[in-house]
Structure formats: C-alpha cells, structure tokens
Structure 1
Amino acid sequence: MKIRPLFIFSTLAFSTIASAEVPTLTVYTYDSFTAEWGPAPLLKPLFEKECGCNLKFMPFQDAITMFNRVRLEGKKTKADIVLGLDNFTLPEAKQSNLFTPYQLDLVELNLPYQWQDNTFYPYDFGEFAFIYNSKKLQKPPKSLQELVEREDLKIIYQDPRTSTVGQGLLMWINKVYKDKAVSAWQSLAKHTVTIGKGWSETYGAFLKGESDMVLSYSTSPLYHQWYEKNDDYKAVSFAEGHLSQIEVAAILKSSKHKELARQFLAFLHKKEPQKIIATHNIMKPVIAENIDPALNNLPKYKVLEMQSPDKNTLRKWQFEWQKAVSQ
C-alpha cells in the first residue's frame, strides 16, 4: 500500500490550497522606504500579523518614477496601492483617473493645513530644507536667495522630472522668485555639482563629501542624531520660508483587494506604524500624538503656502529649469 506517498501528496495539496487563499497586497513605493533601514521591513510583519495576508513592497528609484510606471501599466498594474506621492503631485495623479476614494474616517491630523482630499491618504510630512555639516560649513546661507547666489557653496539637488524632492525645489524657486525663476536657476547652476535622479543617490553623494549642502528635509538631521549619535548635521532655516511636503498613499481602481488596501491605509495611522514611519523614514507623523521627544524639539520653520500647479504650469516650469541648467 502506498500510504506515505498518498499522505505526502495530500499534505502538499492542502498546503497549496491554503497558500492560494492568502491574498497578497502589493504596494508600489520608493526605494528609501523599502531599504533595510527604512519603514517597510518593520511595517510588513506588523501588518501581516493583523491582516493574515502577504504584504509585498515593490520599490522604485523615486515616487515620480513609480507614478510613471503605474500610468504606463494602467489597468494591468500589479499595484493595489501606491505610497509616496505628495501634495504637489496630486493634480496630475487625479487627472490620471487611476485611483479610488479610500472611504475611511480620518483621525485628528497634525498637518500644516486641514486635509480635505478623500482619495489620497496622508501618512507623513516635512518641510523641504537644505542640509549641511556644521563642522565643515561654518557660515551657511540664511535665505534661499543667498543659497542661489553664493558661488562658493557646492550644491546637490534632485531632478524635478524624476524626484518629488526635486519637484519641491522647482515649486519653491517659482514660489519665491516668480517671473525671475529662470535667472535663479541659472545662478544656482553655476555652483551645482550634481543633479541626481532620486533622494538616496543625492544624499549619499553629500555624505561622501561631494557637496557643501544637499536638498532634503528639515527632519533629516534626526537620522544622524538617532542612529549615529551625531549632531553635526543641520537643516538651514530660510528667511523666505519653506514648502511642506505631505506624502500620501492611494488605492488603485484596478485593485482586486480594495478592503485589504483600506485596512492597510487605516493601519498607517495607528501609533506604532506612525512611530516606525517617523523614525525610519525620518519624517513628521501625521497623527496628533507624542511619537518621540526629538520630533517635538525640532525648530519651527516658516511655512509657505502654495497651491499645486496644474499640469501645463508644471511642464512650463520643468522646461524653464531644463533650459536654464543646460546653458
């Protein structure tokens, strides 16, 4: 009698069926979120324990690259959720007609302004800022204008066509300089050493000593304080003020796991996931709870309010930037 082989076959068949019944939620995001030091490796087991599902993060070099992939894939995308768009990319994201309302009640949020969008779900935020090493740069610029005009400063920032951080600088320059933005880009280009595709690449180059300053976030010094016990890195506060980036997640209309996707979004606003995101993505939490004392001790930055430009305006600004830096 072939009892043992039959038993093995039955066991394997049961295992295969059980495995097939476990849904997989796929989240497209940017590479620093999924890095070994990022939030994803800690969020994954925490959510999987809650949902009884598989959580799969698929990283891209930057959020704009991720969004372009989703648009290219359309209804055939494997993504259930995109995580990493921001308040400045929302007009274009809405026009894509790829996303569905999250249908969740928002808890009390700790954001620079009231959040009213019902499709894009905020999970962290922070002000764009330039970072420097205070041991190496004794006299940092006190304004955006000084940063633009001081040719003794070596600057690194991100490409506004591929990076939400770089796009943030595009907004910032146009907000402050208005019709003189092209002249500002030309001045900045004289002492820009690198324009990278994404944040990880550019911040890494800065840490290697390739520049005096790098475009990042007001919260970036916290990484060095928390994980390196190093207080040398500072974020400059500019006299003109700073733009706030609010990062969001959204559910794809094409997702076959919408309820699971909503569960994941709601999960992002719980205290433990918010702490993980704040301390591993190095951004401010969106919930109004005490997450970490260091976050409460951050300097207060003057926040510039700015409406997201429409698609045509954004393309015009990108063209002006590209022309100015290539001269």
Structure 2
Amino acid sequence: MHHLMLASTLIATATMASAQDRPVLTVYTYDSFVSGWGPGPQIEQAFEAECGCDLQFVGAGDGAALLSRLRLEGARTKADIVLGLDTNLMTAARDTGLFDPHGITAAFDMPVEWDDDTFLPFDWGYFAFVANADFDAPGDFRALGQSDTSIVIQDPRSSTPGLGLVMWVKSAYGDQAAEIWEGLSDNIVTVTPGWSEAYGLFLEGEADMVLSYTTSPAYHLIAEDDSGKKAVPMSEGHYMQVEVAAKLAGTDQAELADQFLEFMLTDAFQGVIPTTNWMYPAKTPADGLPDGFDTLITPETALLLDADKAAALRDQAIAEWQAALAR
C-alpha cells in the first residue's frame, strides 16, 4: 500500500511539474467566449494539443470592458493576446500603444475588405433585435419608438453590442440620432452591462425583443430544435460587427502569441465559431456553415463605419443615448 501511495505521489508530482514546465499564453476575452457553451473550451483543447503550452482564457466582462481593463493595467497587463474587441474600439485600442503588428497575410470571407496590420478578425455578424417568431415587430427605428414594444439593450460603455446599437442609430440617422433615441427611451425596459444578462431577460419574458444578432435564431434552431425565434429585419439596414484579436507588445510569449493568431484562422478555430459563438467565421471552414444558417435573414443594407470614423463619433453617439435615457 505504501508503495502504491508513493507511486501515486510521484506520478502526481511529475504531472504537476510537467504542467508547470509548459509556457503559459494568457488571452483576455469576453465572458461568454469562455463559458461552458462558448468556443473557449474547445479552442483551448485544440490549441494546447498543438502548442504544448497552457492556454489560459481570462474573462473580462463584455467586449467593451476589455479595453477598459487593458487601459487600467497598461504595460503591466498579464495578457499576451486580447480577443473580442471590434471595429468600433480598434482606433481607441491602437491609440493605447499596447499592441504589436501581427505580420499575417490572409484572405477573409467577409462582406468588407480587411488589411489591418495589428487587429486580426476572427468572426463577424450583424446586430439585430431578436423576438419570438409570432411577434409583430416594427420594421424600423421610428416605428419602434412609436410602438409599445418593450426592448432590452446593453450599455454601450461596457458592451460591444450596446456600442454597436448606438453606432447603428448614428450611422443610419446622423444628426437625427438624438431624436430617434428620444422615441426609443420609453421602450427600453432595462440596460444591462453585457449581452448574456440582456438575452437571459428576454428568454425569461421580461421584454418583447432583445438586442442581439441576426445569427441568434440559429442557436435556438440548431442547439434546441426550436424555430420559435427570429431576427427582425430593419429597413434602415443592419450594423455590422467584426470581432478582432491582437498581440500585446509587452508579451513575453511573442512566438506563442503569433502561433495562436495563426491558429485562429484555421478550421480548428473557425469551425467552432458558428455553433458556439453563433457568429459567422472570418474564414469559412472547409465543411462550410452548419445547416440552419441558411434560414437566417440577410440584411439588404449593411452598415459599418470605418474604425477612425467610429472613433470620432463614438462619444457623441453615447452622449445622445445617455441624454435620452436621462429624461
């Protein structure tokens, strides 16, 4: 018995030593990415099988909260990679001086051209309001504001969908955006810090619609065999989101970080995205998109401000939203 105990102790000690010998790659991302149903666990397993490293995802709230955390930590950050910023945050992120170029040349399967040397896309989608399939939803923002439809949205200061919504209104209505928000203010049941909380409230019946993505109904159809949800087409068009990752300049695992960014564009990563992150992959995997994605709406008009224009309008767009909700 003592020999068995000693052998077990030696094996456990050797396993711990082996784990400690592996280099650690730390990736800051948003909470839903690292959840049990998100892409994080599958990606961690697949990358660790290739890298011989310890990949550690660190959830940092919702997407916009990532940038706030990085600004707070500055050069002291423990992150090697940040994954989950988007085009609305890229210029502000670049201005921190915390990121290094990636050096990767790749072609992407997205509706927009991409040639940024620092931020690398891993998925994309369109923002949309999601409702029950039998709900008679208004088809534009003015009609929505004039209706008694209740909505749950996310805070643009902490959430990338929330920021996407204010940029959606701003890009569609320009100088009339404040007027649109005045109309929408009494439709808003609550504003949550992130996407998960908002979607949960919608599923609990707390609102008629929730700000999410055109791809969200695919989750219910594929994962739950439930065709009872729909994304509502808006006549103004739908604002795009392109989610990106980037390497921190201060990383002490530069080669491993580069390896992860390269891995991010392989089928092993991209093939996981549609049915875990419920977005379109930046590079369509060899097997294509899963059945069910062909049922999703395709916006007639795609709206997207380039990174610099989005940065220039961001504060104004958020201020118009705040002013309307404060009344």
The two structures have a TM-score, normalised by structure 1, of: 0.92
- 1:16 positional shift: 6.3
On the 8 A contact 1:267/1:273 being kept in 2, the answer is: yes
- 1:169 positional shift: 0.6
On the 8 A contact 1:101/1:118 being kept in 2, the answer is: yes
Letter in 1 for 2:169: I
- 1:71 positional shift: 1.1
- 1:7 positional shift: 10
1:41 is paired with a residue of what secondary structure?
Answer: helix
Q: Which of residues 128, 139, 143 is equivalent to 1:142? A: 139
Asked if residue 313 in structure 1 is aligned to residue 309 in structure 2, the reply is no
Moved more, 25-34 or 63-72: 63-72
Aligned counterparts of 2:124 and 2:180: Cα–Cα separation in 1: 27
Aligned counterparts of 2:12 and 2:133: Cα–Cα separation in 1: 61
Pairing 1:81-120 to 2, within 5 Å after superposition: 81-106=81-106, 108-120=107-119
Aligned counterparts of 1:224 and 1:252: Cα–Cα separation in 2: 36
Question: What do residues 266-314 of structure 1 show as CA deviations (whole Å, max 9, x unaligned)?
Answer: 1111113212111100000111441323334432212124233354532
1:279 is paired with a residue of what secondary structure?
Answer: coil
Aligned counterparts of 2:13 and 2:132: Cα–Cα separation in 1: 59
Aligned counterparts of 1:300 and 1:156: Cα–Cα separation in 2: 23
- 1:182 positional shift: 1.2
On the 8 A contact 1:271/1:291 being kept in 2, the answer is: no
Moved more, 305-314 or 222-231: 305-314
Letter in 2 for 1:199: W
Moved more, 260-269 or 46-55: 260-269
Q: Which residue of 1 aligns with 2:210?
A: 214
On the 8 A contact 1:112/1:244 being kept in 2, the answer is: no
Letter in 1 for 2:62: D
- 1:17 positional shift: 5.5
Letter in 1 for 2:118: T
Q: Which residue of 2 aligns with 1:300?
A: 298
- 1:14 positional shift: 6.5
Asked if residue 286 in structure 1 is aligned to residue 282 in structure 2, the reply is yes
2:118 is paired with a residue of what secondary structure?
Answer: coil
On the 8 A contact 2:28/2:57 being kept in 1, the answer is: yes
Q: Which residue of 1 aligns with 2:122?
A: 123
Asked if residue 261 in structure 1 is aligned to residue 257 in structure 2, the reply is yes
Q: Which residue of 1 aligns with 2:24?
A: 24
Q: Which residue of 1 aligns with 2:220?
A: 224
- 1:133 positional shift: 0.5
- 1:202 positional shift: 0.3
Q: 1:310 to 1:231 in 2, by over 3 A?
A: closer
- 1:15 positional shift: 6.1
Asked if residue 60 in structure 1 is aligned to residue 60 in structure 2, the reply is yes
Q: 1:207 to 1:12 in 2, by over 3 A?
A: closer
On the 8 A contact 1:284/1:295 being kept in 2, the answer is: no
Q: 1:145 to 1:253 in 2, by over 3 A?
A: same
Moved more, 197-206 or 18-27: 18-27
Unaligned runs of 5+ in 1: 1-5
- 1:148 positional shift: 2.6
Q: Which residue of 2 aligns with 1:3?
A: none
Residue correspondences, number: 321
Aligned counterparts of 1:285 and 1:312: Cα–Cα separation in 2: 28
- 1:78 positional shift: 0.8
Q: Which of residues 175, 179, 182 is equivalent to 1:179? A: 175
Aligned counterparts of 2:99 and 2:43: Cα–Cα separation in 1: 23
Aligned counterparts of 1:31 and 1:269: Cα–Cα separation in 2: 21
Letter in 2 for 1:275: G
Letter in 2 for 1:324: A
2:292 is paired with a residue of what secondary structure?
Answer: helix
The two structures have a TM-score, normalised by structure 2, of: 0.92
On the 8 A contact 1:92/1:310 being kept in 2, the answer is: no
- 1:91 positional shift: 1.1
Aligned counterparts of 1:43 and 1:283: Cα–Cα separation in 2: 15
- 1:21 positional shift: 2.7
Q: Which residue of 1 aligns with 2:152?
A: 156
2:127 is paired with a residue of what secondary structure?
Answer: strand
Moved more, 10-19 or 203-212: 10-19
Pairing 1:266-277 to 2, within 5 Å after superposition: 266-277=262-273
Aligned counterparts of 2:188 and 2:310: Cα–Cα separation in 1: 28
